[in-house]
Chains A and B, each alone.
Chain A
Amino acid sequence: MAAPADFVPAPFRVVDRRQDTADTWTLELEPRIAFEPGQFTMLSAGGAGEVPISISGDTTGDRLVHTVRAVGLATSAICATEPGRMLSVRGPFGIPWPTDAIEGADVVIVAGGIGLAPLRPAILHVVANAERYGRSLVLYGARSPEQLLYPEQLAEWGAEVIVDTADADWTGRVGVVTKLIDQATFDADNAVAMLCGPEIMMRFAVPALAARGVSPERTYVSLERNMQCGIGQCGHCQLGPTLICRDGPVYRYSDVERWLGVAEL
C-alpha cells in the first residue's frame, strides 16, 4: 500500500551535472536518500512531466545520482537542469537487485547502453564488498565507443566492453554482447546473472547465459514500461499479472519470461 508521502514530490537541488554522451547526462542531487541498488525515483523538472529514472549512484554516497538520457520532453528538461536549480523527486521505489541474497555466488552483470546506469549501484556494491562474492564480471554492450557510459569506471571494474559499430581507430571489440557471455569465465554452477538493457538484448542474452549454465531462475532482469505513478496505483506499467513499478523493476527472469514473449504486452 502506498503511503501518502509517496504521492508528494520533494524538492532536490542539482549540485553537479556532467555530460556522459551526446544525449546522456549524470546529475547529482541533494539531499541524499536511502535506497537499494536497482530502485528508481519519479523525477521531474517542473512542468515538463514526471518520469521514472533508476538511481545510478552509490548506496553509500552522500548525493542522489541519476544518469538520464534525453529522449523526450521530461527527460530533456531534467538533463537541461543546471546546478543550483531544483528537481522534484518521489521515491525511492521498486524491488532492488538481490545483492544480499546472492552473496557467495559468481556475479555476471550484463548491461546494454543506458542499462548500465540501473546496474551501477549493484556493481559498486559488489566491488566494494568483493569478499562477500565470488568472481564478478561486468559485460557491457553499447552502440559505439562514443556511447559508452562511465568509461573510467569500466576500466576500474575490468569490464569487458563490446560495441555494435566503430571506426577503424577503435581497438576494442565489435559485435554483440552475447559474444562476451560466450567467452566469459565464471563458475556456472554457482553463478547469478543480473541484466539490464534493451529488452531485445536481454531476450538474446538470457539463452546465451543458459547455454553457459546460468538458468533463467538464476537470472535477474530490470524491466521498463510506461510507469506513470510509480506506486502501483495507475496500472500503466502492467505486464501480465504484475505492475512493474510495484513488483519490479527487478524480476527473476523465469517469473516474467512468459509475459515478455507476448507481443500485445
Chain B
Amino acid sequence: MQTIAELTAESHDFAGLDARYLELISGCGSTAHFRAGERLFRTGDAAERFYLVRHGRVALELYAASHQPLTIQTLQDGEIAGFSWLFEPYQWMFDARAVADTSAIAFDAVCLRGKCDADHELGYQLMRRFAGIALGRLQATRLQLLDVYGRAG
C-alpha cells in the first residue's frame, strides 16, 4: 500500500519536490473518497483543506439564483482542487462536486499553512507550484472567455 507521500509524489504538480518537503506536506494529508454527486466543498464554507484528485472526476461549479448551475472546469487524476485555502479570507468561491466516484488526498490547510509559516522554503516551493497551476488555469479561463468555438471563421 502506498503512503500519502508516495501518492503525492506521483502528481505532476508535486514533481521534483524534495523528499523532506513531501514528508512535511504529506503529514497534513489523509485519504478521502467521494461518491458521484457528493460535494468536496461548498461556496462560502471555510476553505480548510484542498484536494489532490487521485482517481475520478470533480466539477467546479457556480450556483446563482434563477440560473442553472454551471460547470466551470473539471479536474481529474493528478490535479489539484482548491486554491482558497492559501489566501484570506480562506473561503470557497465555488462548489466542488464529484461527478464520478472519486478518490483524493485531502490536505489540512491549517496544518499546511502552519508548516509554511515555520519553513519559508517549504512555503516558497508550495507557492511556486500553486502559482504554476493558477497560471495554467488563468490561461485556460481566458481561452474559454474568448468563446473561440462560438465565432464564425
On A, residues with C-beta under 8 Å from B are: 69, 71-72, 112-114, 141-143, 147, 164-168, 170-176, 178-179, 197-198, 200-201, 204, 224
Contact = CB atoms under 8 A, between A and B. Distances in A.
Contact of A71 (B68, B72, B149, B152): B152
Contact of A113 (B59, B74, B99, B148): B148
Interface stretch (B19-27, B108-116, B138-146): B138-146
A22 to B, nearest CB: 11
A165 B68 contact: no
- Interface range, B side: 20 to 34
Please list the 10 inter-chain residue pairs (A to B) with the smallest Cβ-Cβ separation, ordered nearest first. Answer: A113-B149, A71-B152, A168-B69, A143-B149, A198-B148, A176-B140, A171-B99, A174-B74, A174-B71, A164-B144
Contacts, number: 73
A17 to B, nearest CB: 21
A204 to B, nearest CB: 6
Contacts of A147: 149
A72 B74 CA distance: 34
Contacts of B88: none
Contact of A112 (B68, B149, B153): B149
A175 B61 contact: no
Interface SS of B by simple majority? mixed
Interface of B: 36, 57, 59, 61, 68-74, 76, 97, 99-100, 139-140, 143-144, 146-153
A173 B57 contact: yes
A36 B33 CA distance: 50
A72 B28 CA distance: 58
B67 to A, nearest CB: 10
Contact of B143 (A72, A114, A174, A176): A176
Nearest to A198: B148
Contacts of A170: 71
Given A173-B76, A176-B144, A198 B70 contact: no
Contacts of A141: 149
A167 B70 contact: yes
A173 B149 CA distance: 16
B15 to A, nearest CB: 13
B147 A143 contact: yes
Contacts of A164: 144, 147, 149
Contact of B148 (A112, A166, A168): A112
Contacts of B73: 174-175
A143 B147 CA distance: 7
B76 to A, nearest CB: 7
Given A174-B59, A175-B140, A204-B143, A168 B70 contact: yes
Contacts of B36: 171
Contact of A166 (B70, B97, B147, B149): B70
A69 B97 contact: no
Contacts of B151: 198
A176 B151 CA distance: 16
Contacts of A142: 149
Which of A197, A198, A200 is the most central at the interface, judged by chain B CB atoms within 10 Å of its CB?
A198
15 contacts: A71-B152, A143-B149, A164-B149, A165-B144, A166-B71, A167-B68, A168-B61, A168-B97, A171-B36, A172-B74, A173-B74, A175-B74, A178-B140, A197-B148, A200-B146
